[in-house]
Structure 1
Amino acid sequence: MRILIAQINPVVGNLKENKRKILEGIHAARENGCSLAVFPELALTGYPPEDILLLPQFIDEVKKELKEIAGATQGIAAIVGLPRANAKPFGKPLLNSAAVLFEGKILGFQDKTLLPSYDVFDEMRYFDRAEERRVFLLFGKKIAITICEDIWQHAALSKDVSYPLDPVAEYANQNIDLLINLSASPFSQMKAERRIHVVQKAAKTLKVPALLCNQVGGQDSLIFDGYSVVCDAGGRLVRLGNGFQEDYMVWDSEVKADELVAAFDKTEETYKALILGLKDYFGKQGFKKAVIGLSGGIDSALVACIAVEALGKENVLGVSMPSRYSSEGSVKDAVDLAEALGIELRHVPIEEPFQSFLDILSPEFKGKEPDVTEENIQARVRGVILMALSNKLGHIVLSTGNKSELAMGYSTLYGDLCGGLSVINDLTKRQVYQISRWINRERDIIPVSSLEKAPSAELRPNQKDSDSLPDYEIIDTVLEAYVHDHQSPDLIAKNHGYPKELVCDLIRRIHRSEYKRRQSPPGLRVTDRAFSIGRRFPIVQGWV
């Protein structure tokens, strides 16, 4: 059987556009001499549609569009992911389904069995689980269909959940010829490697070829990397879709293929993910231009590089907003970065508005020494300037805070936290430096001084981040151990040789800053434990 795996980039809720992509995929399959076209999980609606699913008229429209898609399957079959109404009088109102289409008809549905409700997933809010695992006969082949999570349980890779049944194992005695998985599997670092392993494990167990068709594209905080997979009956990887772009991948089950060796560079993959996430966040909403406050520091430099790759240099505006505490070197670094990237840079000094605020507040501050209050005023003046330019010019402000700063609360509400999207809020400070050095691997785009100088907010004389924070190496180690791995303070202190008091203090800072993170812009998720989505801790709590 010759199959086209249509790795498409749907737009959540845009049924007409998603239908168009599906019809184009069916046409491409026909043009390539394929018998079957396979599409991702919830391809017709995009993933995740969230509470749009609760609108009855939306589900009615999905049903109408599916009939039109079915009508285009003359002489060819297609498997399309979509939500549909649950006919049972009990349970959740919907099913997450794969529709099997052939010769203008809907042959039937395979519903999703395992419904994840952990991390970024909340499928039990909407869907009822499948009651049976069906086998479909197409072109003389017995085909089993699973949907995303259904295939993961078998590989036992999830540390968040263990289900009472394994859909892959249930097909072991049904003499199937092919296993197909429709996925909307979001990117996190090195996720593609795990996804390949999952397909390989299923293929080896069932002793049949297995393929996974994955969604690609950005959706709010989530990024889908594609990398659709085909493994042969021995579990060898024989086809791998492109990463971070739409792809039509053709595979013929009757033609023996050479084994592929997949190699992924964590730094490069993360950079590509951030570019795609920003590009689709803008493009799918009709935004074109971004404005970034360029401080001369490493964080804003990295965000500017990502923005230029995603939007084009002509669509990125940098703004230098020096204060009385800004060093000449930092101002020069902002200029040099803008020149290297080819973006426009405007200079808007903040001395006058900052002094005006000091004058206005002087009677209220009488008798009190300068402290973080005056530092935050500077950050908020810059936020006002960026938002004013956003309003006047129609540019979206990109926030430049990293995960380490957000964890420690080393940021200012209504100041550097303002914006329409936080681009690097899931990168630790160490990762910011790693990606920045990777960008400079061939030539210096980010100024070397931005990489080498000590991090500083430059909000008071000779300020360094280390005045208020431990070394970022320590912060990032504790952050990853506690937020990513949920390790206890005792274990973290023991494993890394840190004083327990220091570890506990950092953990307290993480929780004290929860209220800030709730008010920050949506951010792009690139790890398994992002602050922006998937991690749910109360602001008011008495445990920590």
Structure 2
Amino acid sequence: MSIQNESSYNNDSQPSENLSTDVNLSTDVEKKAKKTELPQPKNENSESGLKIAIAQENFMVGDVLGNARKMVELATTARDKGANLIIFPELALLGYPPEDLLLRPSLANRVKLAFEILYSVKDIVMLVGYPHIDQHGTFNSVAIVHNGQKKGFYHKQHLPNYGVFDERRYFNKGQNQVLFDYQGLTIGLLICEDLWQESPAKTLKQKGADIIVCINASPFEQHKQEERKALLAKRASENNLPIVYVNSVGGQDDLVFDGGSMVVDATGKIAHEAPRFLSQMLYASIRLDDKQIKVSEQKKMPIALGATAETYQALVVGLRDYVKHSGFNSVLIGLSGGLDSALSLSIAVDALGADKVYAVALPSQHTNPITVQDAQAQAQRLNVSFTVCPIHSAIDGIYHTLEPIFSHTPADITEINIESRVRGTMLMALSNKFGQLVLSAGNKTELAVGDATLYGDMAGGFDVLKDVYKTQVYELANYRNRLEETPVIPEHLINRPETNTPLHILDDHEKLDKILSLYIDEDFGFDAIIEAGFDKDIVKRVLTMVDRNEYKRRQAPIGTKISQKAFAKDRRYPLVNHWSLETPKI
């Protein structure tokens, strides 16, 4: 069975005789969707209702056949535990976000082979997120698979094209709603962004849906779970429909998917919820009882995570999965004795285990011995292998080599940066020799204003704190220390915060981070930030530094995204431009 034949849009050539939707590419949204019943599992009747397995899992981007085999295992387990429907996340068959893998000519054939693997599963309906490719284009879709057949499919209608999302680059827009009958219920399908719009859920209700299933690949941002819950409550209550919401989990490049899959009843009350950041098979039952849709209730809900706790967990998962997926067995971090590297070390140990983390101190003739002692004490506390590698002679060698050229010039930032770049070179040499991924520890505040040295402290394969402002570094360090009786981060590093910000722009980090957050995360302009109560000259200096240092950030290693506007796809500015901060006058 070819994908092209399955995806024909002619009304007289539908994917199967049991297709429960009108998939004609008509733009007439009033066209009534077709519905037919799927065959019922043996020894089941409509009164038994839906026994749903929600597969909150991590599917590897690009491993199409491996993901299909994983789905087979999960579906078989769910069926054996009594489920008659299993739901997988958005684009789970290919992994999310697949980016330009969607443009590979061989993708369609791999998807076809993957469905042949899925067709081996019997006696359970599978809702599979996948890329649908045919003569009409490429679609972000969900397939209804049952007993060796694709019974129907739905194409995502609202394609996000903001922040980290580039779906209009890859996908064609779906046109019609899809519903299917199963276990006495009419099930409507949506995909991620569709639920954030009002009309798709409303139209499904009008077409007779009893419940909505929405598959998602929604990446973590701080406070995002509260937004999801509010959205589900609103959509469910305004349409008087239960909603089943499944989300991906795990790290992919700089993104983390935090799970938190849910089932809400028709009033918007959460009936089932999966834990955050963990793979979990969540089971729920939905049935029609005396013309009312009844949703089973979970006996014990997962512990809610506070803002700092969820951020820390996201950083742990992001680092863990990047290292694992990249094929590294261990990581190396230059431990300076400062707070940033101390927090990064703690996150690395929590992500990978102490036996896979190596720390090295690289003191120069200018290094305070106390910082090396602090680094060693923390490494011992966390049971991490620690080495001291002095760099005096390397620095002297570079100075000596450059002396004939530099002899008639005054000392400046160049000499300071040489020390940082020697450290970067040493770390990369150790990485090459022993196969460890180098972790850098620059925070978002430093990267914003350019208080970082290219090929120096920016050297590495992953920046643990890339999207973490300095004020958040203190919060996260305090949080991690509260988890154990004996602190894992030297307390004096937290209790004796730095009084000067990078390059001495302001007298404290809180003010600087507020200006940066307004400019970077909230897109405030120059005048708006001044109106928020900040000094004009300071604002101009800070914003100028942010704009001027885009070239550094473009060369920085990736790091876990936790905010709405990370220094990555969220925020894309030209390296060279003549945009003025103040509105020009004619």
Question: How would you bin the TM-score normalised by the shorter chain?
Answer: over 0.9
Aligned AA for 1:304? L
Range moving further from structure 2, 354-363 or 387-396: 354-363
Superposed, which structure 2 residues align to 1:428-439 within 5 Å? Answer: 428-439=469-480
2:545 maps to 1:509: yes
Q: Are the equivalent residues in 2 in contact too, given 1:297–1:455 (CA < 8 A)?
A: no
Q: Deviations over 1:258-286 (max 9, x none)?
A: 69697330111011111111111111222
Call closer, same or farther: CA 1:23–1:501 in 2, change over 3 Å: same
Distance in structure 2 (CA, Å) of the matches to 1:6 and 1:413: 43
Q: Deviations over 1:232-258 (max 9, x none)?
A: 011101111111111000001145426
Match of 1:23 in 2: 72
Distance in structure 1 (CA, Å) of the matches to 2:134 and 2:570: 27
Q: Are the equivalent residues in 2 in contact too, given 1:86–1:128 (CA < 8 A)?
A: no
Compare CA radii of gyration and give the structure with the larger one: 2
Q: Are the equivalent residues in 2 in contact too, given 1:221–1:533 (CA < 8 A)?
A: no
Q: Are the equivalent residues in 1 in contact too, given 2:505–2:542 (CA < 8 A)?
A: no
Q: Are the equivalent residues in 2 in contact too, given 1:237–1:261 (CA < 8 A)?
A: no
Match of 2:20 in 1: none
Match of 1:338 in 2: 379
2:391 maps to 1:350: yes
Match of 1:133 in 2: 177
Q: When the two structures are superposed, what TM-score results if normalisation uses the length of structure 2?
A: 0.86
Task: Please point out which of 239, 245, 249 is paired with 1:206.
Answer: 239
Match of 2:82 in 1: 33
Displacement of 1:475: 1.6
Task: Please point out which of 170, 194, 213 is paired with 1:150.
Answer: 194
Task: Please point out which of 360, 363, 379 is paired with 1:319.
Answer: 360
Distance in structure 2 (CA, Å) of the matches to 1:532 and 1:453: 32
Q: Are the equivalent residues in 1 in contact too, given 2:55–2:74 (CA < 8 A)?
A: yes
Distance in structure 2 (CA, Å) of the matches to 1:65 and 1:147: 21
Task: Please point out which of 76, 79, 84 is paired with 2:132.
Answer: 84
2:539 maps to 1:533: no
Aligned AA for 1:107? K
Distance in structure 2 (CA, Å) of the matches to 1:518 and 1:206: 45
Task: Please point out which of 511, 521, 537 is paired with 1:474.
Answer: 511
Task: Please point out which of 303, 306, 321 is paired with 2:344.
Answer: 303
Q: Deviations over 1:160-186 (max 9, x none)?
A: xxxxxx311222312211100010000
Task: Please point out which of 119, 125, 145 is paired with 1:70.
Answer: 119
Task: Please point out which of 411, 435, 438 is paired with 2:452.
Answer: 411
Match of 1:484 in 2: 521
Q: Are the equivalent residues in 1 in contact too, given 2:156–2:190 (CA < 8 A)?
A: yes
Call closer, same or farther: CA 1:66–1:445 in 2, change over 3 Å: same
Displacement of 1:452: 3.3
Q: Are the equivalent residues in 1 in contact too, given 2:273–2:302 (CA < 8 A)?
A: no
Consecutive unaligned residues of structure 1, counting only runs of 5 or more, are 155-165, 457-463
Consecutive unaligned residues of structure 2, counting only runs of 5 or more, are 1-49, 288-294, 581-586
Partner SS for 1:46:
coil
Distance in structure 2 (CA, Å) of the matches to 1:467 and 1:84: 52
Aligned AA for 1:230? V
Aligned AA for 2:531? K
Displacement of 1:71: 3.0
Match of 2:38 in 1: none
Task: Please point out which of 470, 488, 492 is paired with 1:449.
Answer: 492
Q: Percent identity?
A: 40
Call closer, same or farther: CA 1:141–1:78 in 2, change over 3 Å: same
Partner SS for 2:119:
helix
Match of 1:3 in 2: 52
Match of 2:159 in 1: 115
2:328 maps to 1:287: yes
Q: When the two structures are superposed, what TM-score results if normalisation uses the length of structure 1?
A: 0.93
Call closer, same or farther: CA 1:484–1:174 in 2, change over 3 Å: same
Partner SS for 1:287:
coil
Q: Deviations over 1:28-62 (max 9, x none)?
A: 22122111000000011100111111112122111
Displacement of 1:454: 4.8
Distance in structure 2 (CA, Å) of the matches to 1:534 and 1:313: 33
Q: Are the equivalent residues in 1 in contact too, given 2:284–2:296 (CA < 8 A)?
A: no
Match of 1:238 in 2: 271
Displacement of 1:87: 3.0
Displacement of 1:535: 1.1
Distance in structure 2 (CA, Å) of the matches to 1:428 and 1:262: 26
Aligned AA for 2:225? A
2:260 maps to 1:227: yes
Partner SS for 2:106:
helix
Distance in structure 2 (CA, Å) of the matches to 1:425 and 1:10: 25
Aligned residues: 520
Partner SS for 1:440:
helix
Match of 1:124 in 2: 168
Partner SS for 1:542:
coil
Superposed, which structure 2 residues align to 1:244-283 within 5 Å? Answer: 244-254=277-287, 256-257=296-297, 263-283=304-324
Aligned AA for 2:428? M
Match of 1:367 in 2: 408
Range moving further from structure 2, 209-218 or 28-37: 28-37
